[in-house]
Amino acid sequence: MMEKLRSSAMVKRLFSSFAVVAVLCVMTGPPGSTATPMAGITGSFTAPASFFGLFRGQRWMVFFVIALVFFGVWTLWLKRGTQIKGAVSKTMAQPKEVLERRPVRIGVYAVFLLIALVLPHVVTDPFWQDAMVEQILVFVLLALGLNVVVGFAGLLDLGFVAFYAIGAYATAWVTGALPLPPPFGIHLDSFAAIPVAIILAMVSGVILGTPTLRLRGDYLAIVTLGFGEIIFIFANNLTGITGGAAGTNAIPHYHFHISSLNVIWGLGPVPYYYLTLAFVIVFLIIFSLLNHSRIGRSWTAIREDEVAAESVGINPLKYKVMAFAIGAASAGFAGSLTASQITYVSPSIFTVQFSINILVLVIFGGMGSITGVVVGAIIIQTISMFLIHTPPAGFQTQDLYIYIGALLMVMMIFRPSGLIPSKRRKREIRLSEAGEGHMDEVLTGDTP
């Protein structure tokens, strides 16, 4: 009897609901220590700065109510999930059809551009003005670059930050900010450093890509993860070249002087905002053209069926390296931009978490969809910045990625192809769910 009860799905779900809410308690409670390992749980009921601290008085009651509500929603979803999904996608389909009309779309772009242009004059909080450049626009740029690798070519890159670091350090190098003297003793200004950063990042992309892109899926992910770590450790330990853990500062701001015209970026975040915005728009346009070109189609073909792609004359390795190099170049560019803006580089920026963060932006927004990636990056980075700037009760900065992770999980359950999915990617996911796709089959036929 007990055995039967325990194995029933309903009971399992009930216990899981309690477990989830308990995890929520631990997450929002104060951090524990070896002396008080249970502080997370007990604290979440007693400390005022925790989730349950919000509800004074009957905290245990609140715990049960939330767990039961969670259980109820879960059960309902299992029973009526497909219907709810259908209803939602029906209501979503209507505005989408309108959006797909060309004049409407151009109008929407124009409105967004206008908003982007006036934004720094509306939002005057210095925290947000900085965040818009350093945490949002630069991340949009990075997400666009990673989208070429992950979304277009279907290569899982977990070490994207390496190219960002290479771009940043290259800028520091040629502007003379590193202990390593710049090439030929010439100190370039920051604008001139951009092409150097792009080329160095691109070359390292090709050098890493050529031998490793023969690997498939998971193996490639491991190799790129390792590469990211190598670059991090180089930056951290090669004190004589990179300045070590302390990094280096004194990278010059962007500036140009033509006769009497003197323009210097660096007096505040707003000039940088417009500069970065301009670059974002340029990248948006060229990547969109790239996606709809012969090269974009070849990437799709390789992603869907590599054997068939080869049979029509596509060299998969060439196109994969190309995607890798283009992604690396845009990361190098973003690195150069960041270095000149914040005027310093230090290894602590270039962590694995940074790579994962960018990957989350791409997956959340919709792999392969340029609009999706931009919107996804803006939304996630804005949420992150909001949580850091005005933390709600119970929020601790070190918990940020727990919340972002939870958001991503919810997204994957309800919209596995991302917020604004690319049409092709969406179809691929649907087809492979139906057992139609053969993305990972190697060979067909009567092999012995």
Footprint of other proteins (CB under 8 A): 286-287, 289-290, 293-298, 300-301, 304-305, 307-316, 318, 322, 326, 424-425, 427-428, 431, 436-438, 443-448
If the CB atoms of residues 170 and 302 are measured against other proteins, the closer one turns out to be 302
Which residues are CB-contacts of 91 (< 8 A; sequence separation ≥ 6)? none
**Minimal distance in Å, beta carbon 437 to other proteins?**
6
**Minimal distance in Å, beta carbon 174 to other proteins?**
23
Q: DSSP string of 286-309? A: HHHHHHTSHHHHHHHHHHH-HHHH
Residue 410's alpha-carbon distances to 21, 379, 402, 403, in angstroms, are 15, 15, 12, 11
**Minimal distance in Å, beta carbon 399 to other proteins?**
38
**Minimal distance in Å, beta carbon 446 to other proteins?**
5
Closest CA to 52 of 35, 69, 40: 40
Report, in this order, helix, strand and coil percent for the chain, each rounded to 5.
75, 0, 25
User: Structure tokens of 375?
Assistant: 């919107």
Closest CA to 339 of 282, 254, 246: 254
**Minimal distance in Å, beta carbon 315 to other proteins?**
5
If the CB atoms of residues 28 and 298 are measured against other proteins, the closer one turns out to be 298
User: Structure tokens of 397?
Assistant: 């900065």
Cα–Cα distance measured from residue 210 to residue 371, given in angstroms and rounded to the nearest whole number: 30
**Minimal distance in Å, beta carbon 442 to other proteins?**
9
If the CB atoms of residues 247 and 418 are measured against other proteins, the closer one turns out to be 418
**Minimal distance in Å, beta carbon 424 to other proteins?**
5
**Minimal distance in Å, beta carbon 429 to other proteins?**
9
Burial of residue 142 (CB within 10 Å: 0-12, 13-18, 19+) is buried
If the CB atoms of residues 12 and 318 are measured against other proteins, the closer one turns out to be 318
If the CB atoms of residues 250 and 436 are measured against other proteins, the closer one turns out to be 436
If the CB atoms of residues 209 and 347 are measured against other proteins, the closer one turns out to be 209
Give bridge partners of residue 208 from the DSSP assignment: none
Cα–Cα distance measured from residue 224 to residue 441, given in angstroms and rounded to the nearest whole number: 23
If the CB atoms of residues 328 and 342 are measured against other proteins, the closer one turns out to be 328
Cα–Cα distance measured from residue 231 to residue 243, given in angstroms and rounded to the nearest whole number: 14
Query: How many degrees, rounded to 5, is the angle at CA 68 between CA 66 and CA 70?
Result: 70
If the CB atoms of residues 255 and 427 are measured against other proteins, the closer one turns out to be 427
